[in-house]
Amino acid sequence: MTEQIWWYIARSGGIVALILSGASVIWGLLLSGKVLEGRPGARWLLDLHKWLAGSAVVFTLIHVGALMLDGYLTFGLADVLIPGMSSWNPTAVAWGVVSGWLLAAVQITSIFMKRLPRKLWKLIHLGSYGVLFTGIVHGALAGTDAANPLYVITVAFMTLTTVFLTFHRILTVRRTRPVRDLASV
């Protein structure tokens, strides 16, 4: 086994976590925006959305754990939990730390969704966009694979798809919401 195994695991874990986060956001938008008009079933989409998000957490933990085990750069617990504490590229690492905390907030509140007020859950769940955005910035600033054409194409595709589906959802919600009669207010 190569002495760089932890570095390879950290890199691939981070990339997979980012792709899973993006896929989860996209699937969530497909589900909430009713883009697929019931094909496949909403239950299947919801299960896939939850699986993608849960897998993003797992691969984020793999990414962080492998960084801490790698002997080349030394990342301690404070470095991976507190933004700006890392001595190596603190700004780039801080974006990843913030992304991890946002991911944790979205996932934890999703687990307790039925016990939270719907508006609070929805507000926190919008943090999924933040997870994706901060993850992309983290990958661009800290990722050694950020210039790889396949990586760039994948991130661009996720970003454009997310933007398109978000606008579709906004426009669909506005068209389907009943207009209130101002005279009755």
pLDDT digits (tens, 9 = 90+) for 36-84: 666 666 688 889 999 999 999 999 999 999 999 998 888 999 999 999 9
Looking at the domain assignment, is residue 145 inside a domain?
yes
> Does 118 fall in a domain?
yes
100 lies in some domain? yes
Q: What is the mean pLDDT of residues 121-148?
A: 96
Is the pTM value of this prediction over 0.85? yes
Number of domains present in the structure of the chain:
1
Does some domain include residue 169?
no
**Mean of the per-residue pLDDT values for the chain?**
90
Q: Is residue 167 part of a domain?
A: no
Please indicate, yes or no, if residue 110 is contained in any of the structural domains: yes
- Give the mean model confidence (pLDDT) for residues 149-163: 97
Inside any domain, residue 174: no
29 within a domain of the structure (yes/no): yes
CA distance 58 to 72: 23
Which tokens in the block code for residue 126?
Answer: 């919008």
Res 142 pLDDT > 80: yes
Residue 156 token pair? 């661009």
Residue at 18: amino acid letter: L
**Residue 12 pLDDT more than 80?**
yes
| Span 92-102, pLDDT tens digits | 999 999 999 99
State the average pLDDT over residues 142-160: 96
Which element (helix H / strand E) includes 142? helix 127-142
Judged against a pLDDT cut of 90, whether residue 171 lies above it is answered with no
Task: Provide the pLDDT for residue 178.
Answer: 52
Structure tokens at 165: 């589906």
Structural domain harbouring 134: 5-159
Go through the chain and tell me how many residues it has.
185
